[in-house]
């Protein structure tokens, strides 16, 4: 670790280069194996005296390999992460210079992760998630460091965040100086995102933490014809809060490999453990037993996988029966092939189950003041911290098996926190509703679990409308098929056309039937109610019940087709601060009145 | 506060935009039509081409009338409410308190008619209020800024 005068400059561990490169190297290796002829051609050319061209042909792959290696090493060397002035500064000085400032106040999650390779090498991944939607992809960071350094970094950042929040609580609002004369009042953290040249609006929504990222030099007045207010937010640190703790640490003069002082953090000693990957001594509020984890794994499998497996067994068994008992001679090769495919399917399914069980291994959670700590994983250890105020919605997930066994799991939606689970961060594993309620009271009493009995179904006319649309779609499908068949007199005989028409009717019927069935299942799963939070339910085979506080709704969009207008129905969605996958939450088709209530409830929050 | 209607200029802008779009679609369809005519197909490609073009041009000529009549917007002290659409009516309700950014933009067709659009950004995404006269748009941006600043101050002072 290099040292700056008033901050720390970190660089990814060198193993990161190998991790980044190995895929390309393997591909190149196999390409080289398959291209021995090219090497021979190169040798031939060298023998003929055409040395330069020969070398280029024979050694082209090696040159490419060398280039890839050098490029990755250069990129690794030119990429630094500095903790300075209350911000994490990510700097990459390759072809395109890229500098991202992340104010620590906007870091929503600091997660530690360790996959198998990293465990062997002794490194650890620090993942910083920011609470901004528009800048999340540009500013969320992954840094691979030695395990000890990673833990130190997490500890330092946690301390800095705590200090900033303490300062905020003490009603000190620094960093607004840059807005002098702009006519706007700045609140740290609100900001001119990406320096896009738009008017930065501070304050409102700043708790969601929009304000980060500034690429020095990008400028606030970039876009023509736009109003720009300079200085709001994170640009070159102007809008950031300077955390005194950083410079104090810097003076300790740490260098890479030096002992990290452990006594700098005034955190709850019980939580010290959570700052490291080894948390065996830490007490958790919620711990799952092996049985509960296996049950969760079983319940979270998709019904499609089970259908494929069961279908495979039936199909292969029929093949066997035909082979051994049938009068006609069965093709042994075909039956064996079918079994082979089925074995492959079942092994991939089994691996998926094992992977899930390993990912949830020792799933534990703990609530401490305004944060929730979650730890899980065997091969890939995962630890994540969820600040309660960054949670924008809570979802109750019922898979089809879960619906049959009356077990649900809970996920929370907070920007950047989803990781591999795109539809939310895993929070509580499959359990009964009463048990989930009990656990939620311990971990997240701020959120009430949706009361399923209060859910109001959509009006039946919405289902009828959906059936009418299905009929229309089926009818159009039939018309197109009919036209297609009718317009091909030269290609088909009259008899073939007749047969094709029968198939067309069958297909259209199947389309209508499937569409109506899906509409019915969707109608059965849908629901809404307006309590202290907005509760939405939707699904087809599985069901998701979403609970969103009104103050977390960013805006409401509604749509009405002419038919819906006639029936006084409405459909729409709400937008919340979340990743692209869960940013838009569909409400479904309900009476206009439900949307009026939503608009009214929304108004009450401001 | 009452819903506001767009100015007459907005209709012109909608009409020109639709016609330009229809022209572009015609060019694309024509290329496809020529391609299939050259290659040869059992389907009556000229008839399909004609029907599609008729639909596109009818839509492009009629849509601005309906759209202009439907378009309404309302900026109150607390929220922004926009209704628009041709066949489907869309409505956006954006609390001003949730705004992060406000931008003023105008494309080439907008500029011909002296119009502009206001883009408001929340943490959940953008909402655009189109076809506003430049002076009106500037007033709206100014009002939004003032209101948002008030919110920021109120929030800070608890």
pLDDT tens digits for B78-105?
889 999 999 999 999 999 888 877 888 8
pLDDT tens digits for B107-116?
899 999 999 9
Q: CA-CA distance, A88 to A469, in Å (whole number)?
A: 53
Q: Closest approach of chain A CAs to the CA of B21, in angstroms?
A: 23
**Spatial contact of B33 and B49, defined as CB atoms under 8 Å apart:** yes
Q: Note whether A536 and A569 are same-domain residues.
A: yes
Q: Say if A263 falls within a structural domain.
A: no
**pLDDT confidence tier of residue A229, bands split at 50, 70 and 90:** very low
Q: Closest approach of chain A CAs to the CA of B105, in angstroms?
A: 6
Out of A202, A206, A555, closest to residue B122 by CB:
A555
Q: Note whether B33 and B108 are same-domain residues.
A: no
State the average pLDDT over residues A176-182.
35
Q: Closest approach of chain B CAs to the CA of A222, in angstroms?
A: 12
pLDDT tens digits for A550-562?
988 999 999 999 9
Phi, psi of A346 (to 5 degrees): -70, -35
Number of domains in chain B: 2
Query: What is the pLDDT, as a whole number, of residue B20?
Result: 95
% chain A with pLDDT above 90:
19
Q: Is the pLDDT of residue A355 over 70?
A: yes
Question: Which residues, listed in sequence order, are joined to residue A332 by a DSSP beta bridge?
Answer: none
Q: CA-CA distance, A116 to A379, in Å (whole number)?
A: 6
Asked if A271 is an interface residue toward chain B (Cβ–Cβ < 8 A), one would say no
Partners of A195 on chain B (C-beta within 8 Å) are none
**pLDDT confidence tier of residue A239, bands split at 50, 70 and 90:** very low
Residues of A (518-557) whose Cβ lies below 8 Å from B: 553-557
Q: Is the pLDDT of residue A388 over 80?
A: yes
Q: CA-CA distance, A411 to A548, in Å (whole number)?
A: 12
Q: CA-CA distance, A271 to A273, in Å (whole number)?
A: 5
State the DSSP code for A195: G
Out of B97, B116, B122, closest to residue A575 by CB:
B122
Query: What is the pLDDT, as a whole number, of residue A149?
Result: 84
Residue A210 in tokens: 């929009």
Q: Is the pLDDT of residue B25 over 60?
A: yes
Partners of A488 on chain B (C-beta within 8 Å) are 42
CB contact (8 A) between residue B148 and residue A575: no
Q: Is the pLDDT of residue A458 over 90?
A: yes
Q: CA-CA distance, A287 to A283, in Å (whole number)?
A: 9
Q: Say if A398 falls within a structural domain.
A: yes
Nearest CA in chain A to B122: A554
Q: Where does A377-511 show beta strands of DSSP type E?
A: 381-387, 393-398, 408-413, 425-431
Indicate if ipTM > 0.95.
no
DSSP, residue by residue, chain B? -PPEEPPHHHHHHHHHHHHHHHHHHHHHHHHHHHHHHHH--SS-HHHHHHHHHHHHHHHHHHHHHHHHHH-EEEE-SSEEEEEE-SSSEEEEEEEGGGEEEEEEE--HHHHHTTEEEEEEEETTEEEEEEEEEHHHHHHHHHHHHHHHHHHHHHHHT-
Q: Is the pLDDT of residue A270 over 80?
A: no
Q: Note whether B56 and B99 are same-domain residues.
A: no
Query: What is the pLDDT, as a whole number, of residue A329?
Result: 55
Query: What is the pLDDT, as a whole number, of residue A256?
Result: 33
Asked if A561 is an interface residue toward chain B (Cβ–Cβ < 8 A), one would say yes
Asked if B70 is an interface residue toward chain A (Cβ–Cβ < 8 A), one would say no
Nearest CA in chain A to B151: A204
**Spatial contact of A556 and A599, defined as CB atoms under 8 Å apart:** yes
pTM for this entry: 0.68
Q: CA-CA distance, A129 to A126, in Å (whole number)?
A: 10
Query: What is the pLDDT, as a whole number, of residue A223?
Result: 34
Q: Say if A207 falls within a structural domain.
A: no
Q: Which residue has the higher pLDDT, A100 or A514?
A: A514
Q: Note whether B93 and B39 are same-domain residues.
A: no
Partners of B45 on chain A (C-beta within 8 Å) are none
**pLDDT confidence tier of residue A252, bands split at 50, 70 and 90:** very low
Number of domains in chain A: 3
Q: What is the largest CA-CA distance in chain A?
A: 94
Asked if B40 is an interface residue toward chain A (Cβ–Cβ < 8 A), one would say no
Q: Is the pLDDT of residue A44 over 90?
A: no
DSSP, residue by residue, B40-76? --SS-HHHHHHHHHHHHHHHHHHHHHHHHHH-EEEE-
H runs (alpha helix) in A79-197: 116-121, 136-139, 147-169
Out of B95, B103, B151, closest to residue A602 by CB:
B95
Query: What is the pLDDT, as a whole number, of residue A421?
Result: 57
Q: Note whether B93 and B113 are same-domain residues.
A: yes
Asked if A210 is an interface residue toward chain B (Cβ–Cβ < 8 A), one would say yes
Q: Note whether A414 and A473 are same-domain residues.
A: no
Q: Say if A464 falls within a structural domain.
A: yes
pLDDT tens digits for A48-67?
777 777 777 767 767 777 88
Query: What is the pLDDT, as a whole number, of residue A324?
Result: 66
Q: Note whether A494 and A547 are same-domain residues.
A: no
Out of A183, A226, A602, closest to residue B103 by CB:
A226
pLDDT tens digits for A117-152?
888 888 888 888 766 554 444 446 778 888 888 888
Residue carrying structure tokens 């189950």 = A353
Q: Say if A319 falls within a structural domain.
A: yes
Q: Note whether B21 and B42 are same-domain residues.
A: yes
**pLDDT confidence tier of residue B29, bands split at 50, 70 and 90:** very high
CATH number for position B124: 2.30.29
Q: Is the pLDDT of residue A199 over 60?
A: no
State the average pLDDT over residues A232-249.
31
**pLDDT confidence tier of residue A181, bands split at 50, 70 and 90:** very low
- Start-to-end Cα distance in chain B: 27
Q: CA-CA distance, A580 to A146, in Å (whole number)?
A: 32
**Spatial contact of A37 and A276, defined as CB atoms under 8 Å apart:** no
Q: Note whether B51 and B87 are same-domain residues.
A: no
% chain A with pLDDT above 70:
72
pLDDT tens digits for A511-544?
899 999 999 999 999 999 998 899 999 999 999 9
A545: left (phi over 0), alpha (psi -120 to 50) or beta: beta
- Mutation target to probe the A interface, by most A beta carbons within 10 A, among B83, B122, B123, B148 is B123
Q: CA-CA distance, A283 to B117, in Å (whole number)?
A: 55
Q: Note whether B28 and B56 are same-domain residues.
A: yes
Q: Note whether B130 and B85 are same-domain residues.
A: yes
Asked if A565 is an interface residue toward chain B (Cβ–Cβ < 8 A), one would say yes
Which element (helix H / strand E) includes A476?
helix A460-486
Residue A372 in tokens: 């929730």
Query: Domain range holding B109?
Result: 73-156
- SS3 category, A99: strand
C-beta neighbour count of A509 within 10 angstroms? 12
What A165-170 contacts at long range (C-beta under 8 Å, 24+ apart), as own/partner pairs, is: A165/A105, A167/A241, A168/A105
Q: CA-CA distance, A391 to A389, in Å (whole number)?
A: 6
Q: Note whether B97 and B143 are same-domain residues.
A: yes
Query: What is the pLDDT, as a whole number, of residue A262?
Result: 37
Question: Which residues, listed in sequence order, are joined to residue A145 by a DSSP beta bridge?
Answer: A124
Q: Note whether A530 and A453 are same-domain residues.
A: yes
CB contact (8 A) between residue B152 and residue A185: yes
Count Cα neighbours of A541 within 13 Å in the Cβ-side half-sphere. 8
Most confident of A167-176, A254-263, B126-135, B145-154: B126-135
Residue B124 in tokens: 């959940």
% chain B with pLDDT above 90:
59
**Spatial contact of A582 and A536, defined as CB atoms under 8 Å apart:** no
**Spatial contact of A243 and A214, defined as CB atoms under 8 Å apart:** no
Query: What is the pLDDT, as a whole number, of residue B130?
Result: 92
Q: Note whether B78 and B151 are same-domain residues.
A: yes
Q: Note whether B64 and B91 are same-domain residues.
A: no
The 3-state secondary structure of A492-524, one letter per residue? CCHHHHHHHHHHHHHHHHHHHHHHHHHHHHHHH
Q: Where does A393-439 show beta strands of DSSP type E?
A: 393-398, 408-413, 425-431
> Of A523, A596, A593, A589, whose CA–CA distance to A560 is shortest?
A589
**pLDDT confidence tier of residue B133, bands split at 50, 70 and 90:** very high
Q: What is the largest CA-CA distance in chain B?
A: 74
Q: CA-CA distance, A332 to A313, in Å (whole number)?
A: 17
- SS3 category, A296: helix
Q: Closest approach of chain B CAs to the CA of A241, in angstroms?
A: 15
Q: Note whether B53 and B112 are same-domain residues.
A: no
Which element (helix H / strand E) includes A527?
strand A527-530
- Start-to-end Cα distance in chain A: 47
CB contact (8 A) between residue A560 and residue B87: no
Q: Note whether A415 and A444 are same-domain residues.
A: yes
Query: What is the pLDDT, as a whole number, of residue A487?
Result: 67
pLDDT tens digits for A569-596?
999 999 988 877 778 899 989 999 889 8
Q: Note whether A446 and A530 are same-domain residues.
A: yes
Q: Which residues contact A197 (CB under 8 A, 6 or more apart)?
A: A219, A220, A221, A222, A223, A224, A226, A228, B103
Q: Is the pLDDT of residue A325 over 70?
A: no
Query: Among the three residues A490, A507, A524, which one is the final residue of a domain in this structure?
Result: A524
Q: Say if A233 falls within a structural domain.
A: no
Q: What are the angstrom distances between the C-alpha of A449 and each of A320, A371, A552? A: 50, 19, 16
Query: Domain range holding A309?
Result: 290-359
**pLDDT confidence tier of residue B154, bands split at 50, 70 and 90:** confident
**pLDDT confidence tier of residue A422, bands split at 50, 70 and 90:** low
State the DSSP code for A209: -
Q: Note whether A500 and A447 are same-domain residues.
A: no
């Amino acid at each position: 670790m290099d040292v700056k005068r008033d901050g720390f400059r970190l660089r990814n561990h060198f193993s990161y280069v190998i991790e980044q490169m190995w895929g390309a190297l393997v591909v190149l290796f196999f390409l080289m194996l398959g291209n021995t002829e090219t090497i021979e051609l190169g040798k031939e050319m060298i023998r003929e005296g055409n040395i330069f061209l020969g070398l280029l042909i024979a050694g082209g792959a090696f040159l490419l390999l060398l280039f890839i290696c050098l490029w990755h090493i250069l990129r690794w060397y030119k990429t630094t992460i500095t903790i300075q002035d209350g911000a994490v500064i990510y700097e990459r000085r390759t072809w395109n210079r890229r500098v991202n400032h992340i104010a620590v106040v906007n870091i929503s999650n600091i997660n530690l992760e360790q996959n198998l390779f990293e465990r062997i090498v002794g490194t650890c991944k620090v993942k910083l998630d920011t609470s901004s939607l528009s800048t999340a992809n540009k500013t969320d960071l992954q840094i691979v460091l030695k395990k000890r350094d990673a833990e130190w970094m997490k500890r330092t950042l946690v301390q800095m965040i705590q200090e900033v929040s303490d300062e905020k609580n003490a009603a000190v609002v620094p960093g607004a100086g840059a807005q002098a004369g702009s006519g706007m009042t700045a609140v740290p953290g609100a900001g001119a995102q990406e320096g896009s040249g738009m008017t930065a609006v501070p304050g409102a929504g700043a708790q969601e933490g929009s304000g980060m990222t500034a690429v020095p030099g990008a400028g606030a007045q970039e876009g023509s014809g736009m109003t720009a207010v300079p200085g709001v937010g994170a640009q070159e640190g102007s809008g950031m809060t300077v955390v005194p703790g950083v410079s104090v640490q810097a003076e300790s003069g740490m260098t890479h490999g030096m002992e990290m002082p452990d006594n700098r953090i005034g955190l709850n000693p019980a939580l010290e453990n959570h700052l490291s990957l080894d948390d065996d001594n830490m007490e958790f509020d919620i711990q799952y037993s092996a049985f509960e984890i296996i049950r969760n794994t079983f319940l979270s499998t998709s019904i499609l996988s089970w259908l494929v497996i069961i279908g495979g067994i039936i199909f292969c068994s029929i093949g066997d029966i035909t082979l051994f008992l049938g009068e006609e001679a069965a093709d042994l090769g075909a039956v064996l092939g079918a079994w082979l495919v089925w074995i492959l399917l079942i092994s991939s399914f089994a691996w998926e189950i094992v992977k899930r069980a390993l990912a949830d291994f020792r799933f534990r959670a703990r609530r401490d003041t305004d944060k929730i700590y979650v730890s899980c994983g065997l091969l890939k250890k995962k630890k994540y911290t969820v600040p309660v105020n960054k949670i924008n919605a809570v979802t109750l997930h019922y898979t089809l098996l879960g619906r049959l066994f009356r077990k649900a799991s809970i996920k929370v939606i907070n920007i950047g926190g989803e990781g591999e689970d795109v539809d939310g961060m895993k929070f509580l594993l499959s359990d009964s509703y009463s048990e989930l309620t009990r656990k939620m009271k311990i971990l997240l009493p701020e959120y009430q679990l949706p009361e399923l009995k209060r859910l109001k179904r959509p009006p039946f006319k919405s289902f009828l409308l959906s059936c009418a649309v299905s009929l229309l779609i089926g009818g159009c499908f039939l018309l197109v098929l009919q036209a297609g068949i009718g317009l091909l007199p030269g290609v088909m005989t009259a008899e073939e056309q007749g047969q094709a028409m029968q198939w067309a009717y069958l297909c259209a019927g199947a389309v209508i039937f499937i569409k109506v069935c899906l509409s019915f299942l969707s109608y059965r799963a849908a629901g809404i109610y307006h309590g202290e939070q907005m509760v939405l339910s939707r699904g087809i085979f599985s069901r998701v019940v979403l609970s969103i506080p009104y103050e977390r709704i960013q805006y409401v969009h509604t749509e009405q087709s002419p038919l819906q207008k006639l029936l006084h129905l409405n459909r729409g969605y709400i937008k919340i601060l979340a990743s692209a996958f869960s940013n838009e939450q569909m409400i479904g088709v309900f009476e206009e009145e439900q949307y009026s209530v939503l608009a009214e409830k929304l108004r009450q929050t401001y | 506060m009452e819903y506001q209607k767009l100015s007459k200029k907005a209709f012109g802008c909608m009409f020109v935009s639709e016609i330009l779009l229809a022209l572009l679609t015609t060019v694309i369809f024509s290329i496809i039509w020529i391609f299939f005519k050259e290659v040869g197909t059992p389907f009556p490609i000229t008839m399909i081409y004609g029907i599609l073009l008729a639909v596109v041009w009818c839509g492009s000529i009629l849509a601005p009338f309906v759209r202009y009549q439907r378009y309404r917007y309302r900026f109150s002290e607390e929220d922004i409410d926009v209704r628009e659409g041709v066949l489907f009516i869309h409505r956006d309700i954006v609390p001003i308190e949730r705004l992060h950014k406000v931008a003023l933009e105008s494309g080439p067709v907008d500029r011909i008619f002296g119009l502009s659009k206001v883009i408001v950004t929340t943490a959940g995404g953008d909402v655009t209020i189109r076809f506003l006269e430049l002076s009106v748009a500037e007033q709206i941006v100014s009002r939004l800024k003032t209101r948002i600043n008030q919110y920021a101050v109120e929030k800070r002072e608890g």
